[in-house]
Structure 1
Amino acid sequence: MMKSFIGRRAISSAVSLGGLIVLVFFLTRLTGDPTNLYLPLDAPMEARDNFRVLHGLNDPLIVQFGSYVYDVLHLDFGESIRKARPALEVVLEAFPWTLTLAVVTMGLVTLFAIIIGSLAAARVGGVFDRLSGIMSLIAASTPEFWVAIVGIFIFAVSLGWLPTSGTGTIWHWVLPITVLFIRPFGLILQVVRGSMISALSSPYVKTARAKGVRQRAIIFVHALRNGMLPVITVIGDQAAGMLNGAVVIETIFGFPGVGKLMIDSILQRDFSVVLASIMVTALAIFIMNLLIDLLYAVLDPRIRY
Structure 2
Amino acid sequence: MSKYLSKRILSSLLAVAGLFVMVFFLARLTGDPGHLYLPIDAPVEVRKEFSEKHGFNDPIYIQFGRFLEDLSEGNLGYSLRKERPAIDIVLEAIPVTLSLAAVAMTIALLGAILIGSLAAYKPNGLFDRISRVVSLTAASAPDFWLAITAILIFSVSLGWLPTSGIGGFPYWIMPIAILVIRPLGLLVQVVRGSMITALSSDFVKTARAKGVKENKVIFKHALRNGLLPVITVAGDQAAAIANGAVIVETIFGWPGIGKLMIDSIMQRDFAVVQASILITAIVILSINIIIDIAYAILDPRIRHK
Shorter-chain TM-score above 0.5? yes
Separation in 2, partners of 1:183, 1:175: 14
Separation in 2, partners of 1:202, 1:303: 22
1:13 to partner: Cα distance:
1.1
Instruction: Give the corresponding residue for 2:210.
Output: 211
Instruction: Give the corresponding residue for 2:262.
Output: 263
For residues 179-221 of structure 1, the C-alpha deviation after alignment (integer angstroms, 9 at most, x for no partner) is 1111111001000000000011110001001000111001100
1:225 to partner: Cα distance:
1.1
1:225 and 1:299 in contact (8 A); partners too = no
Separation in 2, partners of 1:147, 1:126: 29
Relative contact order, CA 8 A, sep 6+: which one is greater?
2
Q: Does 1:174 align with 2:178?
A: no
1:71 to partner: Cα distance:
1.9
Instruction: Give the corresponding residue for 2:76.
Output: 77
Q: Does 1:142 align with 2:141?
A: yes
2:112 and 2:184 in contact (8 A); partners too = yes
Separation in 2, partners of 1:25, 1:130: 49
Pairwise CA RMSD of aligned residues?
1.0
Instruction: Give the corresponding residue for 1:28.
Output: 27
Separation in 2, partners of 1:73, 1:171: 43
Q: Does 1:62 align with 2:79?
A: no
1:152 to partner: Cα distance:
0.5
For residues 131-166 of structure 1, the C-alpha deviation after alignment (integer angstroms, 9 at most, x for no partner) is 111110111111111111111011111111100001
1:107 to partner: Cα distance:
0.1
Separation in 2, partners of 1:91, 1:179: 24
Structure 1: gaps of 5 or more residues: none
Separation in 2, partners of 1:179, 1:245: 9
Aligned positions of 1:112-191 closer than 5 A: 112-191=111-190
- 1:211 partner letter: K
Q: Does 1:41 align with 2:65?
A: no
Separation in 2, partners of 1:150, 1:62: 46
Separation in 1, partners of 2:42, 2:126: 70
Q: Normalized against structure 1, the TM-score is what?
A: 0.98
- 1:121 partner letter: A
1:35 and 1:52 in contact (8 A); partners too = yes
Separation in 2, partners of 1:176, 1:70: 39
2:296 and 2:302 in contact (8 A); partners too = yes
1:48 to partner: Cα distance:
1.1
Instruction: Give the corresponding residue for 1:274.
Output: 273
1:128 to partner: Cα distance:
0.9
- 1:17 partner letter: V
2:137 and 2:185 in contact (8 A); partners too = yes
Separation in 1, partners of 2:74, 2:101: 25
% identity of equivalent residues: 60
Separation in 1, partners of 2:242, 2:180: 13
Separation in 2, partners of 1:3, 1:49: 53
Comparing 9-18 with 168-177, greater Cα deviation is found at 9-18
- 1:178 partner letter: A
- 2:98 partner letter: L
For residues 194-253 of structure 1, the C-alpha deviation after alignment (integer angstroms, 9 at most, x for no partner) is 000001111000100100011100110001111011011111001101112311111100
Secondary structure of 2:30's partner? Answer: coil
1:21 to partner: Cα distance:
1.4
Comparing 273-282 with 19-28, greater Cα deviation is found at 19-28
1:6 to partner: Cα distance:
2.1
- 1:283 partner letter: I
2:179 and 2:244 in contact (8 A); partners too = no
Secondary structure of 2:172's partner? Answer: helix
2:143 and 2:244 in contact (8 A); partners too = no
- 2:246 partner letter: V
For residues 231-281 of structure 1, the C-alpha deviation after alignment (integer angstroms, 9 at most, x for no partner) is 111110011011123111111000111110000000000000000000000
Separation in 2, partners of 1:245, 1:87: 22
Instruction: Give the corresponding residue for 2:100.
Output: 101
Comparing 141-150 with 278-287, greater Cα deviation is found at 141-150
Q: Normalized against structure 2, the TM-score is what?
A: 0.98
2:232 and 2:295 in contact (8 A); partners too = no
Separation in 1, partners of 2:302, 2:215: 28
Q: Does 1:289 align with 2:256?
A: no
